[in-house]
Amino acid sequence: MPEPTVPPGPSTPPTPPVSLAALLARDDLGLRRLAGPSPAGVAVHWAHTSEMADPYPYLLGGELLLTAGVHVPRGTDPGPAYFDAYVGRIVAAGGAALGFGVAPVHDTVPRALVAACDAHGLPLVEVPPRTTFSGVARAVWQLMAQARLAELRRVTEAQQSLASAAARPDPVPSVLQQLARRLGGRAVLYGPEGTRLADAGPETGEEVRTALAKLAEVVRPSGQEPSDTRPSSASDTVAGMRLVAHALGNGEGFVLGTAAPQRDAGDHTIASVAAVLLSLLTDERHSGSGAGRSFALVRLLLGATPTEVAPLLGGDRWRVVHGRPEGRTATDPVSASALGAALGSSLVDVAGERVRVLVPDGRAVERVAGWTLGVSAAAAPRDWPAADTQAARALARARATRAPLLRHGDRPTALTDLVPPAEADAHARALLAPMERSPALVETLRTWLSLHGSWDRTAVALDVHRNTVRQRIARCAALLDRDLDDPDVRMELWFALRTP
């Protein structure tokens, strides 16, 4: 039988591993190490039971392999060669340790197995008769759950400390200091030209500093190619230090670099939060938009119109984007800021389940992973309320049709071109007059018609039960005294609902 190809490395789950030493410390299990290196440095990612003579094809890497020795030939001494080949296959598959159950098959752990584990550097653990393999597996999952909870707490505390640092009078140095402390290493902010603008944490050697600066160039947009041709992050290991570079999302060429002696499961999340905060902070420092927004806000509060303050925000025409995170019913400020950074704007508003972003017309609005987006047509400041409505309707249609992004159509329909606006408005008002006091009915009818009479998709778009949609449409038909199954009636109503 041909030997399978050795995998490039263990495929481990995104859950903190368990130290073999922690498992051996459980008094209720009674495990005892017989061979192999110190358990303190051995990480167990899961437990697996197998009685196959060649367990290689069934291992993914990182397992504590449990066996009662059923596979060992009975009646004859298999000899050291058998156990040497058996242990070698476990090591080749990336197994973390071997647990051998004493009784009912074997009274003791075979000496040749102990010698083979010592020779291959595989930890060997004796499982006493009173301990079941399922009990060992359950202990592994319990320790993993505890480690996962501790990691989540660490990430949450780090997020809170980073957010607090961003609110200090010196936000950029404060965020870098918090990040360096949380990662146990060095944090550096590079400018668009590659200059080191600020740093925090223990100083590193010249080799690490040079490698981190080169890694920052890998993710920095060059300005002569689309930004999506460069990765958003890159990593390397130099001189025992784990190096990571994050391109900041403001598109100005700023890069966050980190260097730490180790990389824990939650470190990527912590660094990503810091990158989002620094994206917003560097955007304000580079363009002065923060001061412009303050001026605009004060003038609005003192009675100015949106048209008068729009030049302070950096543009004459804007698009309104409504976004809703996939798989969540609420949006936190950090996630909302991350969406704004991805769209190239820090003008963000969190409104319950959705986020509203005001984006300059010159910036392209593209898909954002993890979000469903609705985009309005470009609008002058006096038309922002209408653009907000357009974006809301586009988002509702995007969610109903499961599209990641939908834009409001800019082209008018043929009927709109042919009918004078005043006459169209008068006709629409007369036709829809019976429902003028029921905005919910009007919006339900509009959505239902736009989705070709689909009850389920309309319910998703409006966040109501499908029976509620049926009841509202029936009420519309009664108030209008029209047959909504008639395509001519539907067309006329759609024309009226589309009239500004």
Residue 421 has pLDDT above 80, yes or no: no
Cβ neighbours of residue 356 under 8 Å, at least 6 residues apart?
A: 320, 321, 322, 323, 348, 349, 388, 391
330 and 400 fall within a common domain: yes
Residue 131 has pLDDT above 80, yes or no: yes
Which contiguous run of DSSP H or E holds residue 214? helix 206-219
In a domain? residue 332: yes
Range of the domain at 330: 314-407
How far apart CA 442 and CA 430 sit, in angstroms, is 14
How far apart CA 365 and CA 394 sit, in angstroms, is 14
In a domain? residue 7: no
User: Which of 355, 373, 407 is the last residue before a domain boundary?
Assistant: 407
Specify burial of residue 303 (Cβ count, 10 A radius: 0-12, 13-18, 19+). exposed
Q: How confident is the model at residue 329 (pLDDT cuts 50, 70, 90)?
A: low
pTM: 0.47
The whole-chain average pLDDT of the chain stands at 84
Per-residue tokens: 94: 């990336």
More confident residue, 329 or 72: 72
270 and 176 fall within a common domain: yes
CATH number for the domain harbouring residue 472: 1.10.10.2840
265 and 338 fall within a common domain: no
Cβ neighbours of residue 21 under 8 Å, at least 6 residues apart?
A: 38, 39, 40, 42
22 and 105 fall within a common domain: yes
In a domain? residue 394: yes
61 and 134 fall within a common domain: yes
| Number of structural domains the chain divides into | 4
In a domain? residue 291: no
Q: How confident is the model at residue 420 (pLDDT cuts 50, 70, 90)?
A: low
Q: How large is the average pLDDT for residues 400-426?
A: 70
CATH number for the domain harbouring residue 136: 3.40.1390.20
176 and 254 fall within a common domain: yes
Residue 233 has pLDDT above 80, yes or no: yes
Is the separation of the CB atoms in 12 and 61 below 8 Å? Answer: yes
392 and 424 fall within a common domain: no
User: Which of 388, 407, 426 is the last residue before a domain boundary?
Assistant: 407
223 and 322 fall within a common domain: no
In a domain? residue 292: no
Which contiguous run of DSSP H or E holds residue 237? strand 233-238
User: Which of 407, 423, 457 is the last residue before a domain boundary?
Assistant: 407
Q: How large is the average pLDDT for residues 148-173?
A: 84
Residue labelled with tokens 């030997």: 3
Residue 76 has pLDDT above 80, yes or no: no
**Rama region for 431: left / alpha / beta (φ>0; ψ in -120 to 50; rest):** alpha
124 and 186 fall within a common domain: no
How far apart CA 204 and CA 237 sit, in angstroms, is 13
In a domain? residue 294: no
User: How confident is the model at residue 83, as a pLDDT?
Assistant: 95
User: How confident is the model at residue 128, as a pLDDT?
Assistant: 95
Q: Residues 186-218: pLDDT tens digits?
A: 999 888 778 788 889 999 889 999 999 999 998
More confident residue, 222 or 352: 352
Q: How large is the average pLDDT for residues 447-473?
A: 90
Q: Residues 16-30: pLDDT tens digits?
A: 788 999 999 999 999
25 and 139 fall within a common domain: yes
Lowest average pLDDT, out of 247-261, 341-355, 411-425, goes to: 411-425
User: How confident is the model at residue 11, as a pLDDT?
Assistant: 43
462 and 381 fall within a common domain: no
In a domain? residue 152: no
CATH number for the domain harbouring residue 348: 3.30.70
CATH number for the domain harbouring residue 203: 3.30.450.30
In a domain? residue 92: yes
**Rama region for 85: left / alpha / beta (φ>0; ψ in -120 to 50; rest):** alpha
User: How confident is the model at residue 96, as a pLDDT?
Assistant: 95
